[in-house]
A and B are shown apart, each in its own frame.
Chain A
Amino acid sequence: MSESLAEILVLAFLAYAGIGILVAIPFVFVVVNRVDGAARGAPIGFRVLILPGCVGLWPFIAFRWLGRRQAP
């Protein structure tokens, strides 16, 4: 793999992760309470535990945030 392609890939990965953090933090501490009733009143340990997944799967989380429901 050429160095320039590798640099692009690493930058893309870091950008994805960066956006993920920006989406996940408000979601995990605030928005999830609205979107999933079982999250209301949940302890901080729960929010920390789902944070990595929210960062990694942030497109999915953003989808939920925007209010589109998944078919049960």
Chain B
Amino acid sequence: MTNQYTWVSWNRHKKAYDLVLAGACIGFLAIFVGLGFLASGPDAPDPMVMLIRATGTLSVVLLHVILCIGPLARLSPRWLPLLYNRRHLGVTMFLFGLAHAGLVILYYHGFGITNPLVSPLVNTNRSGIGFEMYGLAALAILFVMAATSHDFWLHTLTPRLWKTLHMLVYAAYGLLVLHVAFGAMQSELHIAYPTLLGIGIAIVSTLHLVAGLKETGRDRSALEANGTWVDVGEIGEIAEDRAKVVCVKGDERVAVFKHGGKLSAVSNVCEHQMGPLGEGKIVDGCITCPWHGYQYRPEDGCSPPPFTEKIATYELRIENGRVLLNPEAKPRGTRIEPAPVPSEPEASSG
């Protein structure tokens, strides 16, 4: 949570994550280049060409890993530690893509009679759109994403615009698939290439489909009770320090938390990156988002000082052992007295 920006909020987890990431990248490049030279002998590519291929391949492989993390985290909270520091993965992936493009411009488009920045636009498009152009477009998108990966941009662009921008990763993915299919796979004819690419696309698509189906299944609408109130369910359905999430008015999700013998209802959407607060837990008296740990007090939806984030709150009533919710959201930060859970068994009613 930020009340003052730093460049990276390091903690032990991020350091471990980054160490593994660095090792994985170095290992990938070493295996790719080393095996390539060993296997080809005198027919090996130039070292520069080998490096161009290694950086490009690593970049595309990293993007596949990145795209899998999102849906995996929706399917099981076990994957959340990989989600937490995903932006470092993203920036790394962009940097290797940039290195790939830089080497291509230097080696394939340098030393000639044309400016190395002009040549890629002219000499790749002599007979229709060159495959290099798809790579260039993808790189532009990935640059914007990498350059706006800091929380400063989250606030400056507003979370909604930032999220929309970062959804362009899917456009970048499509462009990179075209870049590989119309480029490297036209020169390299081994069946392994389309096979691996096909497997990658299948895994990413399947994970997204399964996670998407699970999400739409979660939009179980709350039942109408009487007048303005909707029925959330039985008190006993909600575990201590956890929440039940219901959908009101079509697509608005509300999280009802139980803490210290009382119930509070807040918006399910974290102010930070719109994480699912209802899948979080109350830690130190605060609702804690499962994605990056942003916190909000259950009674007023405000982040504890010195933080300033606020979410909307909702009124609750308890009747006959059931929790009733007023679906009209109160303004962000409105204090609502938590509803006490009756200590008698639910069977007795007035």
Contacts and interface: CB of A to CB of B under 8 A. Distances in A.
A25 interface: no
Given A10-B121, A52-B147, A57-B148, A46 B6 contact: yes
Contact of A1 (B122, B150, B153): B122
Interface stretch (B110-118, B176-184, B241-249, B273-281): B110-118
Contacts of A14: 117
Interface in A38-72: 38-43, 45-46, 48-50, 52-53, 55-57, 60, 64, 70-72
Interface in B280-330: none
Contact of A53 (B4, B5, B150): B150
A50 B114 CA distance: 33
Contacts of B157: 60
B4 A41 contact: yes
Nearest to B158: A70
Contacts of A72: 158
Interface string B137-158: 0000001101110101101111
Contacts of B118: 3, 6-7, 10
How many interface residues does chain B have, given as a range? 20 to 34
Contacts of B3: 38
Given A38-B155, A46-B152, A57 B6 contact: no
Contact of B122 (A3, A36, A70): A3
B2 interface: yes
B121 A40 contact: no
Contacts, number: 79
A13 B143 CA distance: 14
How many interface residues does chain A have, given as a range? 20 to 34
Given A38-B5, A39-B5, A72-B158, A53 B153 contact: yes
Interface of B: 2-8, 114-115, 117-118, 121-122, 125, 143-144, 146-148, 150, 152-153, 155-158
15 contacts: A1-B122, A3-B114, A6-B122, A10-B115, A38-B152, A41-B4, A42-B4, A43-B6, A46-B152, A50-B153, A52-B143, A53-B144, A56-B147, A60-B157, A71-B158
